[in-house]
Amino acid sequence: MTTARLPLFPLNAVLFPGLVLPLNVFEERYRAMMRELLKSDEDEPRRFVVVAIRDGRETAVTGTGMPDPVASAPPAERAPAEGFGPDPIQTFHRVGCIADAATIRERPDGSFEVLATGTTRVRLLSVDASGPYLSAEVEEVAEEPPAEDEADEAGALAEGVLRAFRAYQKRLAGATERSLATGSELPDDPSVVSYLVAAATVLDVPTKQRLLQAPDTATRLREELTLLRRETAVIRHLPSLPAPDLTRAPTHPN
């Protein structure tokens, strides 16, 4: 299988194909990455790999779920692998997603505002920390093609997941007093449905990672149907939903 070497951007989050990822890049190691990406022609994809961190640590000191700050160096001076242990690949989930940066805008202070979109699932083969930022050798993780009868099953599962997702949205909107997307705004392609629902449902990183790694669309949809029914039942029995900010999609501070 074809491999590629790409910049690596670890996050305390999971990126799915087709989903938009806003980033606030201020650490020098990731500024260097963005400066390098800006050197490519505008008509060429500016790609990097987003991978979720196993132990919940984040790359920026102000990030959610951060460990204690590294006392030896301020954030702007951290080495490429600092905070990820002696063997960084062991700190990351092995399956991530390529992000294509449509917008990379440098601010006057040298930080960057980035807007990227997930494109392709990849598996980490190795991680290199010898440069100014982490890079990784990766190979594509293709969706296993469904058999003819399984394609029909995926379509039926997608319809069931959309119904369950609408019910989940209604319960979540009621609990948070927020207006969420209506069913008419949701796609009907089973694969797109599976990734959108995985990203939009309030789940922890290990669960989202499991959905990203599912071998095929039908498997992902089956698990989502179970999760949505469970989460809807939980919300139904709660007088209020804790941490309502989890339903928003904030810019990741990195």
Class of domain 1-138: mainly beta
Each residue of 12-33: pLDDT tens digit?
999 999 999 999 999 999 999 9
What's the predicted TM-score (pTM) here?
0.81
Nearest C-alpha neighbor of 7 from the set 129, 141, 114, 113: 129
The two most distant CA atoms of the chain are separated, in Å, by 58
Range in 150-159, 172-181, 226-235 with the lowest mean pLDDT: 172-181
- Alpha-carbon distance of 241 to 237, in angstroms, equals 10
Fill in the amino acid letter for 212: L
In the chain, what are the domain boundaries? 1-138, 146-235
pLDDT at site 187? 77
- Beta strand 3-11 with 20-25 is unpaired
DSSP assignment string, 221-235: HHHHHHHHHHHHHHH
Contact 186, 165 (CB under 8 A): yes
- Alpha-carbon distance of 68 to 9, in angstroms, equals 20
Is residue 140 very low, low, confident or very high in pLDDT (cuts 50, 70, 90)?
very high
Strand partners, 151: none
Is residue 64 very low, low, confident or very high in pLDDT (cuts 50, 70, 90)?
very low
- Alpha-carbon distance of 233 to 221, in angstroms, equals 18
Each residue of 227-236: pLDDT tens digit?
999 988 888 7
Assign 161 to helix, strand or coil.
helix
pLDDT at site 56? 53
- Alpha-carbon distance of 150 to 145, in angstroms, equals 9
